[in-house]
Amino acid sequence: MNEIIKTVGERLKHCRMRKGLSQEQLAEKCGLHPTYIGQVERGEKNATIESIWKIANALELPLEVLFEKLVGDGTRTESLPSKAYDIVDALPEEDQELILTILSCILRFRSR
């Protein structure tokens, strides 16, 4: 169960950071205490479904995204595409676009 708590917390943190919000700003948007937000992100608190919904809603993040790609014991699936997705997803959109351009160039070069 701890792995689920940590994974969901990490995903919330990545999304918050990608949106450029501080923990305080997110807490204000969802009506929770900033300390609580930090504890959830670090996996120190087992948040209620209602709290997770409030946070996800404030981040405009569908709940299913928080729980996708988890296996039965709460760990993430560790396929290469999943790892690459997690890395790229945490980057700013400008960097994501650059990576997409680079990948497109590599694929064009290899198909020659």
Q: Name the band, by pLDDT with cuts 50, 70 and 90, for residue 78.
A: low
Confidence at residue 1, expressed as pLDDT on a 0 to 100 scale: 60
pLDDT at 38 over 90: yes
> Distance (Å, rounded) from C-alpha 42 to C-alpha 30?
18
- How does the average pLDDT of the chain come out, rounded? 87
Confidence at residue 69, expressed as pLDDT on a 0 to 100 scale: 75
Q: CA distances (Å), 40 to each of 53, 93, 98, 112, in order?
A: 13, 25, 31, 49
Confidence at residue 91, expressed as pLDDT on a 0 to 100 scale: 82
pLDDT at 71 over 90: no
